[in-house]
């Protein structure tokens, strides 16, 4: 790591003065000078993991209107929580959110604990989230280092050690910047600076309150930081998704197993996903009605997960006569599919199938038969 600029509490105090002028207005943020609601802070931090502020806003408002406090959320049926979360991604967070609400009610009388160790003992709360809740909701002198803070600090000090090795040093420097007062506002000020001024591309250095001490800005190489190790390319996995419709056009929906990727979420039946792709036996085993005439859409649906990309071939069939497919599930009218709680991947799959069906016979003729071998 390069020798650091004078990074101390005086910088934090300057940042607070900037924050008082330039703080973002966010749906979960209490007006300056009023007490933050721990439930709102926790809910927003859980939603913001791996997701943007713009994407989270509507979800946050919906959750708050349906479940205005932790007791209401804890009492909600799991399926309803997953349904409201649908589209926000990283579905283990939704399960953790619900488990955490239940634990706070059962073990803490419905009041969030105030210390980082107690918070970290709750489901879905890691070091960053615990620090953020303790600082923002309880004004504890805790450091919360997210991607924004990593970027700001690594630029201020021109840290050449790549992430993730640099994390401990960044955390120490962020702690050194903490002013003697308002640790919660300081945490939010660091996040705001990273989100609105010290952005990943094209940071607005002339508008930055810390410009005069910033080593990266002085070198004219702000975008070089934070230094990251090159990531290996994501592997490509393949699978087959089965969109089965009845004579009225309703879509057959099932539910994924409670744990694992997209655990507990609504889906259309699918094979397992692997780099080799499913063989004929795996396709038959996953197919909800193997006796039908299944046809494949010309193009697979591509979806990017954190650790792999997925090409999901979409095959469709119609169960024209009254009957039930194999396995547990339900028929969902086509007009209700958008509110069925499908995660983004399966929204894309069903959307592609419905679009193809609405495109008439010409498009259907271009589809190829799914091999039944
Ligand atoms: S001066 Fe530029 S690079 Fe340095 S912290 Fe401010 S915005 Fe980021």
DSSP 34-64: SPPPHHHHHHHHHHHTTS-HHHHHHHHHHHH
- Domain co-membership, 289 together with 363: yes
Residue 292 burial (10 A CB sphere; 0-12, 13-18, 19+)? buried
Residue 367 has pLDDT above 90, yes or no: no
Within a domain: 230: no
pTM above 0.85, yes or no: no
Residue 4 has pLDDT above 60, yes or no: no
79 is catalytic: no
pLDDT tens readout for residues 197-248: 999 999 999 999 999 999 999 999 999 999 998 888 899 999 999 999 998 8
365 — pLDDT class (breaks 50, 70, 90): very low
CA gap 165, 191 in Å, rounded: 21
Could you tell me the residue range of the domain that residue 52 belongs to? 9-224
- Cα of 52 vs centre of ligand 1, distance in Å, is 21
- Domain co-membership, 260 together with 296: yes
Atom from ligand 1 closest to the CA of residue 207 = 7
Q: Can you give the pLDDT at residue 159?
A: 95
| The pair of three-digit structure tokens given for residue 299, joined into one six-digit string | 């193009």
Site to probe by mutation for ligand 1, drawn from 154, 204, 205, 213 as the one with most ligand atoms within 8 Å of Cβ, is 205
Average pLDDT on 58-77 reads 97
Within a domain: 3: no
Report the run of H or E that residue 368 belongs to, with start and end: strand 368-369
Q: Can you give the pLDDT at residue 58?
A: 94
2 — pLDDT class (breaks 50, 70, 90): very low
Atom from ligand 1 closest to the CA of residue 209 = 6
Closest among 40, 34, 32, 37 to 59, alpha carbons compared? 40
DSSP annotation of 275: S
- Active-site residue identified among 3, 45, 223, 328: 45
Q: Do residues 49 and 85 lie in contact, with contact meaning Cβ atoms separated by under 8 Å?
A: no
Atom from ligand 1 closest to the CA of residue 205 = 2
Site to probe by mutation for ligand 1, drawn from 214, 218, 221, 226 as the one with most ligand atoms within 8 Å of Cβ, is 214
Decide which of 224, 248, 283 is a domain's last residue: 224
Average pLDDT on 283-295 reads 93
Q: How many domains does the chain have?
A: 2
Decide which of 189, 224, 259 is a domain's last residue: 224
CA gap 45, 219 in Å, rounded: 34
362 — pLDDT class (breaks 50, 70, 90): very low
Q: pLDDT: is 369 or 117 the higher one?
A: 117
Atom from ligand 1 closest to the CA of residue 208 = 6
Average pLDDT on 127-135 reads 95
Tell me the CA distances in angstroms from 105 to 8, 25, 96, 102, one per residue in order.
39, 30, 14, 5
Within a domain: 179: yes
Q: Whose CA is nearest to atom 8 of ligand 1?
A: 198
- Domain co-membership, 121 together with 192: yes
Ligand 1 pocket by Cβ (under 6 Å): 152, 155-156, 197-198, 203, 205, 208, 210-211, 214, 216-217, 222
Within a domain: 2: no
């Amino acid at each position: 790591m390069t020798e650091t600029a004078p990074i101390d509490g005086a910088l934090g105090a300057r940042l607070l003065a900037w924050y008082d002028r330039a703080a973002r207005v966010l749906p979960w943020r209490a007006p300056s000078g009023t007490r933050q609601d721990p439930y709102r802070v926790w809910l927003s931090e859980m939603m913001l993991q791996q997701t943007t502020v713009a994407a989270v806003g509507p979800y946050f408002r919906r959750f708050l209107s349906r479940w205005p406090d932790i007791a209401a959320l804890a009492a909600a049926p799991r399926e309803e929580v997953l349904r409201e979360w649908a589209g926000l991604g990283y579905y283990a967070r939704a399960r953790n959110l619900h488990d955490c609400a239940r634990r706070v009610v059962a073990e803490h009388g419905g009041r969030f604990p105030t210390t980082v160790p107690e918070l970290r003992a709750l489901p879905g709360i890691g070091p960053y989230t615990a620090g953020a809740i303790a600082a923002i909701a309880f004004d504890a002198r805790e450091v919360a280092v997210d991607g924004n803070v990593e970027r700001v600090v690594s630029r201020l000090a021109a840290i050449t050690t790549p992430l993730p090795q640099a994390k401990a040093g960044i955390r120490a420097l962020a702690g050194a910047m903490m002013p003697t007062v308002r640790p919660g506002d300081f945490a939010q000020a660091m996040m705001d600076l990273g989100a609105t001024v010290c952005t990943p591309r094209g940071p607005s250095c002339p508008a930055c309150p810390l410009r005069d001490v910033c080593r990266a800005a002085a070198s004219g190489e702000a975008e070089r930081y934070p230094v990251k190790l090159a990531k290996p390319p994501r592997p490509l996995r393949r699978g087959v998704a089965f969109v089965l419709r009845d004579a009225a056009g309703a879509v057959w929906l099932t539910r994924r197993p409670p744990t694992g990727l997209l655990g507990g979420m609504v889906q259309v039946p699918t094979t397992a996903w692997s780099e080799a792709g499913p063989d004929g036996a795996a396709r038959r085993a996953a197919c909800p009605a193997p006796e039908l005439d299944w046809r494949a859409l010309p193009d697979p649906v591509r979806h990017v997960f954190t650790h792999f990309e997925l090409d999901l071939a979409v095959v469709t069939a119609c169960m024209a006569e009254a009957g039930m497919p194999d396995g547990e599930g339900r028929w969902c009218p086509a007009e209700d599919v958008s509110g069925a709680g499908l995660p983004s991947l399966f929204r894309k799959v069903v959307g592609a199938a419905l679009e193809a069906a609405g495109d008439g016979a010409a498009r259907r003729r271009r589809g190829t038969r799914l091999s039944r071998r």
